[in-house]
Amino acid sequence: MNRFEYVRPTSIAEAVAAAGEPGSAYLGAGTNLLDLMKGGVTQPSRLVDLTHLPDLGQIEQLPDGSTRIGALVKNAALAHDPAFAEAFPAVAEALLSGASAQLRNAATVGGNLMQRTRCAYFTDPASACNKRAPGSGCDAIGGENRAHAVLGWSDHCIAVHPSDFCVALTALGAIVEIEGPAGRREVAMTDFYLLPGDTPEKETVLDAGEMIVAVRLPAEAAAFAGNQRYLKGRERTSYAFALASAAAALKIENGLIVEARLALGGVATKPWRVQAAEAVLAGAAPGKEAFEKAAEVAFAEAKPSGDNAYKIALGKRVLARALMMAAAGTPERMPALPASPFAPLPEGVVNV
């Protein structure tokens, strides 16, 4: 690990000023950043420790009905907060399907949004990676790439975004609150992450010195609480990243879907909102036929980036099944295996 300066600010303003220096990086729990530093993947010259800043560790109900989650709220604390889990069960389920209990107890909301891809070529400094070293090439293209993206990829990068949490946030229209040298601004989750294009090293809209201070779920997102689920297909039941996942939230009235919110994970270079598939479901009767049609629309533009064509078929099945589970109703208790396809299915759910 390279030598670095350690800064411990006492306010957000101090943190932003300290991080404006070239080579700076923000430090939260460090569950991803410190591993990357130890492996030589990233080498910041200054760490700005956010963990002692005030007012970033609360879950708040705002007057307009929205829910604001401070950037330093722990993943486990958020998932187990009774009021939050009742209002946004798919978000809680997504959180509990990620990493281990020990990591969830340490990892923060802001850090989850900023975690880097787990592409093996990105995490290996001996490999060519345009995301880590712009212009060096992409060894994943033509390499071992069965876990890589089928949506949103380019000739410069085919790595998938690793988060479960962010998929559910994207489906429910979350807003990211950002503080920086120019003041505070807000960005929709759908716009927060950038497609790789020919600049895969630029992963988010954050400018130099900017930091995430909170994530906000709008009041209308809670209207989907009765019919929402997160489903994750992976190579083992726990401690594994998604090969294909889906967050599905439905508003059902008089036997018809009034509105749907859908997002995909594990298949794209960023959490992938599929509004075209949402439109297909509006006004439809919930059922296997409608859900499989929506899944086809969701993956209409998908194409393999290597040895991963199976992800298109898998992703369609995961989304259709997540929709079936959501339509059956949010369970009263969190499943013993959150987001797992091996968890018992609600009565009436077709095993698609």
Range of the domain at 29: 5-49
pLDDT exceeds 80 at position 288: yes
Distance CA 172, CA 159 (A): 24
Contact status, residue 164 vs residue 94, Cβ threshold 8 Å: yes
Strands 46-49 and 67-70, sheet pairing = unpaired
Residue 25's domain is classified under what CATH number?
Answer: 3.30.43.10
Encoded tokens for 329: 């109703």
Q: Residue 346's pLDDT band (boundaries 50, 70, 90)?
A: confident
Residue 301 belongs to a domain: yes
Q: Residue 350's pLDDT band (boundaries 50, 70, 90)?
A: low
Whole-number average pLDDT of the chain: 97
Predicted local distance difference test score (pLDDT) of residue 327: 97
Predicted local distance difference test score (pLDDT) of residue 282: 98
Residue 12 belongs to a domain: yes
Query: Which pTM does this prediction carry?
Result: 0.97
Residue 301's domain is classified under what CATH number?
Answer: 3.30.390.50
pLDDT exceeds 90 at position 265: yes
Residue 158 belongs to a domain: no
Strand ordering across the sheet containing 272-273: 228-233, 244-253, 256-265, 272-273
pLDDT digits (tens, 9 = 90+) for 12-32: 999 999 999 999 999 999 999
Number of domains in the chain: 2
Residue 206 CB coordination number (10 Å): 19
Residue 311 belongs to a domain: yes
pLDDT exceeds 80 at position 351: no
Average pLDDT over residues 211-217: 98
Distance CA 186, CA 4 (A): 31
Q: Which whole-number Å values give the CA distances from 93 to 55, 116, 151, 257, 324, in the listed order?
A: 26, 21, 24, 22, 16
Q: Residue 348's pLDDT band (boundaries 50, 70, 90)?
A: confident
CB neighbour list of residue 166: distance below 8 Å, 6 or more residues apart: 112, 113, 189, 193, 265, 271
Give me the percent of the chain exceeding a pLDDT of 90: 95
Residue 123 belongs to a domain: no
Predicted local distance difference test score (pLDDT) of residue 160: 98
pLDDT exceeds 80 at position 87: yes
Average pLDDT over residues 244-251: 98
